[in-house]
């Protein structure tokens, strides 16, 4: 019944999963993100833990952060020689992708090199001996700092020895263990350590380092991270080494050639860039089965854009047409359109409170469509894309900001916000095969119409715009309901 119902709201991917697939950690991953089924159960992908040329390791654990960690200001005020400090990566900014010395604001008090040299000279490494040597070498501030630190309960060894220095130092890449919007950072800091809050990566070559950083920062892999990590709060996740080892890797993407080809679209600034980026990832897959599983996964990310409009079998037929004959794919969409879909949209606008303030205007536009006034419909609907998204932002407690002749949408979060422009906010909802089609037929044309281009009296173009707009309305409503159910906003669902 689910498969046969043309206008169903269910994710049909669930019916494919066998009992063997729903075991251990996979049950959570599949049920929380059903479209990833083909990727999880595929033997074609190399898992991150089996990737050659890359080592993952845990970071520094001091056992006494108050003693060992210094801010920039504290380091300067301490009077301790700079040679006893090492840069530490702990909470990098989400605004950067590469960590340089300018981004470091945390330092470790590190006597390891100094004590190694003393030991090589035959000095027994005890706290008293090291303090004495420091004073003889003129490092009175450091000697006094050590003497003033009370010993910890059950502490073994001198007070200046950290509990754990990590699997390795000087990482090439780091990934936060706890995140809301995952990011892989390149490390361009000499003599760096990383805190236990981070996972460090070392790569055999610069090519692997750079291409892996780019791959892990694509929108596709941000979703993989969320699927494989453990949820700990609203939009927050914890990544452990077991989770990281299981993540599938598109090995063909780890090349200088693909790194260069992705450059024009990275980071993606709009849905066009996102579509191009995803297509390059599909092309880099080494087998047809891998390509198909990634293609299906990306297509399913916009299931709201087609599941109410086409059955799964119809969507598969559309995909095949789109690859072989784009004009036939356009005709296929027009043939699927029925007037009752306008009534379905009208019922949504009239009966769902989210659309209350905009429903009369939207109903007028639907009437223009029904009466064959396609120019009037197109002229009005192009502005409603931004209008509905603006409603979503405001109704969920966000903010719309006009700055530098551009509208910015600040999405809400628990003490955290994400600011997007119209293009990037639409991209948040639109990705996949069907959205590639909508992007080429709607987005570019919408921009031209909004800027005064001549509007043709086209029923076919109006159908494309209606489908795209109603898909966006469904996606916005789903997001509104999701936030309400999670008590993110104080509204009734």
Exposure b/e, 362-395, CB count within 10 A at least 16 = b:
bbebbebbeeebbbbbbebbbebbbebbbbbbeb
What pLDDT score does 208 carry? 94
Sheet (strand 236-238) strand order: 178-179, 236-238, 230-233
> SS3 of 297, please?
helix
Q: What is the DSSP string of 431-481?
A: -SHHHHHHIIIIIHHHHHHHTTPPPP--HHHHHHHHHHHHHHHHHHHHHHH
Mean pLDDT of 232-260: 87
- For residue 150, what is the DSSP state? P
Whole-model pTM?
Answer: 0.61
Mean pLDDT of 393-411: 76
Phi, psi of 88 (to 5 degrees): -125, 135
What pLDDT score does 493 carry? 41
Least confident of 47-56, 184-193, 419-428, 446-455: 419-428
* Best-predicted range by mean pLDDT (145-154, 255-264, 431-440): 255-264
* Best-predicted range by mean pLDDT (392-396, 480-484, 485-489): 392-396
What pLDDT score does 322 carry? 80
Domains of the chain: which residue ranges?
12-52+210-299, 55-187, 330-485
What pLDDT score does 424 carry? 61
Dump pLDDT digits (tens) for 442-468: 777 877 887 788 888 899 999 989 988
CA distances from 370 to 308, 342, 346, 410, 472 (A): 20, 8, 12, 36, 20
Count CB neighbours of 429 within 10 A.
21
CA distances from 77 to 86, 100, 112, 141 (A): 16, 23, 22, 11
Examine the pLDDT at 30 and tell me if it is beyond 70.
no
Q: What is the DSSP string of 326-370?
A: HHHHHHHHHHH--THHHHHHHHHHHH-GGGTTTHHHHHHHHHHHH
Dump pLDDT digits (tens) for 271-292: 556 667 777 888 888 888 888 7
CA distances from 418 to 164, 180, 226, 400, 421 (A): 35, 11, 17, 12, 10
Examine the pLDDT at 14 and tell me if it is beyond 60.
no
What pLDDT score does 211 carry? 94
What pLDDT score does 309 carry? 76
Mean pLDDT of 347-355: 81
Dump pLDDT digits (tens) for 84-119: 999 999 999 888 899 999 999 999 999 999 999 999
Dump pLDDT digits (tens) for 191-239: 999 999 999 999 999 999 999 999 999 888 888 898 888 877 656 889 9
What pLDDT score does 138 carry? 95
Q: Are strands 185-187 and 98-99 parallel, antiparallel or unpaired?
A: parallel
């Amino acid at each position: 019944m689910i498969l046969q119902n043309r206008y169903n709201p269910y994710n049909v991917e669930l019916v494919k999963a066998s009992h063997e697939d729903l075991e251990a950690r996979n049950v959570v991953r599949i049920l929380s993100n059903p479209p990833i089924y083909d990727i999880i159960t595929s033997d074609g992908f190399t898992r991150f833990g089996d990737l050659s040329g890359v080592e993952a390791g845990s970071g520094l654990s001091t056992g006494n952060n108050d003693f060992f960690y210094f801010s920039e200001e504290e380091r300067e005020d301490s009077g301790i020689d700079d040679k006893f400090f090492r840069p530490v990566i702990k909470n990098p900014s989400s605004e950067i992708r590469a960590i340089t010395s300018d981004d470091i604001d945390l330092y470790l008090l590190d006597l390891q090199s100094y004590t190694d040299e003393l030991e090589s000279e035959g000095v027994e490494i005890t706290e008293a001996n090291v303090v004495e040597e420091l004073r003889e070498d003129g490092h009175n501030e450091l000697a006094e700092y050590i003497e003033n630190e009370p010993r910890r309960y059950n502490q073994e060894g001198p007070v200046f020895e950290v509990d754990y220095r990590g699997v390795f130092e000087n990482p090439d890449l780091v990934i936060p263990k706890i995140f809301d919007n995952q990011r892989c950072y390149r490390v361009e800091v000499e003599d760096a350590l990383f805190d236990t809050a981070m996972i460090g990566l070392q790569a055999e070559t610069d090519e692997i380092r750079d291409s892996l950083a780019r791959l892990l920062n694509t929108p596709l892999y941000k979703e993989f991270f969320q699927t494989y990590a453990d949820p700990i709060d609203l939009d927050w996740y914890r990544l452990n080494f077991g989770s990281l080892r299981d993540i599938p890797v598109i090995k063909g993407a780890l090349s200088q050639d693909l790194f260069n080809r992705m450059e024009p679209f990275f980071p993606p600034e709009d849905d066009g860039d996102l579509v191009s980026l995803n297509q390059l990832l599909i092309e880099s897959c080494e087998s047809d089965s891998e390509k198909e599983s990634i293609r299906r996964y990306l297509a399913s990310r916009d299931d709201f854009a087609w599941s109410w409009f086409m059955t799964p079998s119809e969507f598969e037929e559309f995909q095949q047409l789109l690859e072989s004959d784009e004009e036939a794919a356009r005709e296929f969409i027009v043939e699927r359109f029925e007037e009752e879909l306008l009534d379905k949209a009208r019922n949504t606008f009239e009966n769902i409170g989210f659309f209350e303030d905009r429903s009369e205007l939207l109903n007028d536009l639907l009437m223009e469509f029904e009466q064959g006034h396609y120019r009037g419909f197109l002229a009005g609907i192009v502005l409603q894309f931004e209008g509905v998204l603006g409603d979503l932002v405001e109704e969920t407690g966000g903010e719309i900001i006009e700055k530098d002749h551009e509208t910015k949408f600040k999405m809400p979060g628990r003490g955290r916000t994400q600011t997007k422009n119209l293009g990037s906010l639409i991209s948040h909802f639109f990705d996949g095969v069907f959205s590639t089609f909508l992007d080429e037929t709607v987005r570019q044309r919408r921009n031209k119409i909004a800027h005064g281009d001549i509007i043709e009296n086209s029923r076919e173009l109006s159908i494309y715009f209606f489908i795209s707009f109603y898909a966006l309305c469904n996606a916005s409503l789903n997001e509104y309901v999701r936030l309400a159910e999670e008590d993110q906003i104080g509204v009734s669902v």
